[in-house]
Each structure stands twice: as C-alpha cells, then as structure tokens.
Amino acid sequence: MYFKQILDERCGCASYLIASRQSHEAAIVDPSIEIEQYEPLLRERGFHLRYVIDTHVHADHVSGARKLAAQHGAELCLHESARVAYPFRPLANGEELPLGQLKLKILHTPGHRPELISVLVMNPPRSPEPSMVLTGDSLLVGDVGRPDFGGGDASAQFESISKLLRLPDWVAVFPGHFEGPCGKGMCGRPSTTIGFERLYSPLLHMDRDPFVAELTNGVPARPLNMTAIEATNRGVADMTWAMLTSSPAVDDVGLDAIDSAPPNAVILDVREPEEFAREHVPGAVNVPQADLATRLDEIPRDRPILTICQSGTRSVRSAQFLYQQGYRNVTNVVGGTRAWREAGRRVDSTEAASGPLRITDSEWAHAGARTVNTAETRIPSVG
C-alpha cells in the first residue's frame, strides 16, 4: 500500500492519496482545488486514478474533486445523500470500494454535515482489521467537527463519534482539517489514533446532552465566504475566486483610526448578524465574512474601508480577501469591538438583523456566478 497525507497550510486542510502498489490503482480523498500537486505523485509512481472521493460538501474551501476526476476519467464519489447539481457515484454506508488488494470501506458519519462519510482503509492480505480511517470533519485531533455548517446536527455528531470510537485503539485517524474554523479545539497535529482521542479528547468523555450543549453553545462564526464556497462545491454557482489564495499585507490600525477616519469611510463589521445586533461600533455596517463574496457590490471601492470583528482575527482575513479582489484602501482594526468596549467607548445595539444570507436552490440556479444582494445592511451612499 502507498499512503500520503498532503497538507494545505493556507486553509488548514488535508487531502490523501491511497494506492495499491500491486495494481497501481489510486484514490484521492478531499482533493484541494490546486490539483496540479497530485500529478507528479501519480505520474512518477505510475498510479492510475480510479476514485476521487469528497467526504462531504465543503464549506470553507473549494474542492478540486470534479476537475481532478474529469481530468483522469476517475469516478467521482460522495455519499448517496449529497445534495449536489452534478453526477457522481453514490456511496452507501458499509459499501467497500476495491483498490487492488486494498478495500476502502465507507462509514456514514453525519453531524458536521448530513452527507459526511469516513473512509476505513483496509489491507486484507496483511490484516482483516482496518489500519486507518480518514474521518473528514467528523473526528478531528482534539475536537469534533462543528455541526452548524449547512444542515449539520449535534446529536447526529454524537452518534457518529460513538460509531468511530468502536474502532480498535490502534486505528490511525487522519482528519480533513488540522486547523481552521471547523473545530475550535483542534491541537494542530495532522493525525492521531482512536485510542489517544478516546483517552484525551475532552468532548469524547461527555454524555450526549453535555456534548450537544457544548457544540451548540454561542454564536457560530461561519468561515470566510462560506456562502459562495458551499454553493460552488454543490455545483449551483461558479465562484472559485471566493477562496483566499494569498496573504497580502494589509495595514493594522488602532481604535483611534475610527475616530479620525474621513467622513466617507466605511467601518465594515464582518461578524455574524447576532453579534452585530448585540453591540457594535457606532456607524458600523454589517456584512458577515461568510457573505463577503456574494455582497461585494455593496462594498464601495472608492472609499476607505476599515474592517472590524470581535477581536481582530476575522477582520484580518476579510481585509486580505478584499485586497485580493482589488480593494487598495482597506485596513484592519486591531483588537476589534471587544477592545473598543473595554476601552469604555460607546457601543450601539440594534434589533436582531435578518440573519445570515440564505440562498435557496432555485435562486442559485438562476444566479449562476453573479453576486447576490440582501437587504440585511446597506452601506449608505455619499454625496
């Protein structure tokens, strides 16, 4: 067997190449949009790509699965419940994909997403038991996948984690993320074992009710451009440009920059509507980071933009994305709304906004790659 984990440091994701050294058949799981990186591995080792598997419809990065499968004439595989607008091979729970002498056994492990699967890697000539499991965003290192991405369910996540914990302790765990927004407690390691997580992951020591409460506590911050990325991965939009693919240097400014900003400056609060409604800098307008790509036409290019969030993390990435899209007069407010409040400055509150941008299937089918407006918050015109 040949096995390789490929890490994407920019988005904290992992993809996997599994191949039979006997038949030279290969599978790639959760491929990055940068599919060129897989070509030397396949070519130099003479592997024939038979399967391309997405463990679920990703919401924080654009998948390269369709493009990779088409380029190699491979089967594109997802769980049978995946709601996408393109053809694929539907996988059922318990199904086994042959790969030379290897077997890839499918476990349906919903929770983070309803269609999420884990892939057990088995090498029967060596052992009747699995040696590793690719868990997508179900079981992470030190955490589990968030259940608030597109129809997830915390109770289903509990059942799925319980299913995975019935595997032997020696089974190596290779998740879909080693850092990023899919789990707040990930330790940063790219792999673990069932036994280690069983012993040392705090969530896995909880009964169902506290487990569900922990996963649903607080206002979840959706990933940067989640709306556009998820729709692209479902095949109902084509917005691959919504991924942050660079790390441009954007200027950091302090709280005083808000006071001294010119009258036409836009204080762009990129938190979730619930957070914004609770408290925000006076005069700020709310476009959640999850919806930036679909609401770019609301953000003027000819006015200074100051991005702000709760503490400064989301606003940095939002400012970088705007810069990537050609905005040059954009800065990041260090410390965010929390620092503003702790400095004793006045904050405003409003009634709950209309909520995160939600686009129905029919709307996306007619939208194509165009941007979509909502009436959630409009940036006032000047002059």
Query: Residue 2: is its pLDDT beyond 80?
Result: yes
Question: What is the band of 148 on the pLDDT scale with cuts at 50, 70, 90?
Answer: confident
pLDDT of residue 351: 63
In the predicted model, what is the mean pLDDT of residues 344-358?
Answer: 65
Query: Residue 355: is its pLDDT beyond 90?
Result: no
The closest of 371, 369, 16, 359 to 178, measured between CA atoms, is: 16
Q: Is 309 a catalytic residue?
A: yes
Taking the alpha carbons at both ends of the chain, their separation in whole angstroms is 67
Judge if 210 and 242 occupy the same domain. no
pLDDT of residue 301: 95
pLDDT of residue 352: 40
- Structural domain including 16 reads 2-215
The closest of 43, 40, 48 to 22, measured between CA atoms, is: 48
Judge if 142 and 36 occupy the same domain. yes
Judge if 197 and 261 occupy the same domain. no
Query: Residue 368: is its pLDDT beyond 70?
Result: no
pLDDT of residue 379: 56
In the predicted model, what is the mean pLDDT of residues 21-28?
Answer: 98
pLDDT of residue 371: 29
Judge if 183 and 290 occupy the same domain. no
Query: Residue 367: is its pLDDT beyond 90?
Result: no
Looking at the domain assignment, is residue 375 inside a domain? no
pLDDT of residue 183: 67
Looking at the domain assignment, is residue 380 inside a domain? no
In the predicted model, what is the mean pLDDT of residues 127-147?
Answer: 95
Which of 185, 215, 245 lies at the terminal end of a domain, its last residue?
Answer: 215
Q: For the segment 177-194, what is each residue's pLDDT rounded down to a tens digit?
A: 988 777 677 788 899 999
Judge if 113 and 259 occupy the same domain. no
Judge if 10 and 120 occupy the same domain. yes
Query: Residue 80: is its pLDDT beyond 70?
Result: yes
The mean of the pLDDT values for the chain is 90
pLDDT of residue 219: 65
Q: For the segment 100-120, what is each residue's pLDDT rounded down to a tens digit?
A: 999 999 999 999 999 999 999
Judge if 202 and 289 occupy the same domain. no
With beta carbons less than 8 A apart as the criterion, state whether 19 and 26 touch. Answer: yes
Alpha-carbon separation of residue 330 from 32, 79, 89, 168, 272 (angstroms)? 29, 41, 44, 51, 20
**Which one of 13, 77, 182, 309 is the catalytic residue?**
309
CATH number of the domain that 9 lies in?
A: 3.60.15.10
Sequence-ordered list of residues with C-beta below 8 angstroms from that of 145, at least 6 positions apart, any chain: 111, 112, 113, 116, 136, 137, 138, 139, 152, 157, 177, 182, 183
Q: For the segment 188-241, what is each residue's pLDDT rounded down to a tens digit?
A: 889 999 999 999 999 999 999 999 999 988 767 899 999 999 999 999 999 999
Judge if 64 and 187 occupy the same domain. yes
Q: For the segment 56-77, what is each residue's pLDDT rounded down to a tens digit?
A: 999 999 999 999 999 999 999 9
With beta carbons less than 8 A apart as the criterion, state whether 22 and 101 touch. Answer: yes
Question: What is the band of 36 on the pLDDT scale with cuts at 50, 70, 90?
Answer: very high
Query: Residue 363: is its pLDDT beyond 70?
Result: no
pLDDT of residue 236: 97
Q: For the segment 280-319, what is each residue's pLDDT rounded down to a tens digit?
A: 999 999 999 999 999 999 999 999 999 999 999 999 999 9
In the predicted model, what is the mean pLDDT of residues 250-273?
Answer: 96
Judge if 36 and 98 occupy the same domain. yes
Query: Residue 151: is its pLDDT beyond 90?
Result: no
Which of 156, 182, 215 lies at the terminal end of a domain, its last residue?
Answer: 215
Judge if 208 and 243 occupy the same domain. no
d(CA 330, CA 119): 43
Looking at the domain assignment, is residue 162 inside a domain? yes
In the predicted model, what is the mean pLDDT of residues 337-359?
Answer: 73
Is the full-model pTM beyond 0.85? yes
Structure-model confidence comparison of residues 373 and 180, the more confident one: 180
pLDDT of residue 144: 95
Number of domains in the chain: 2
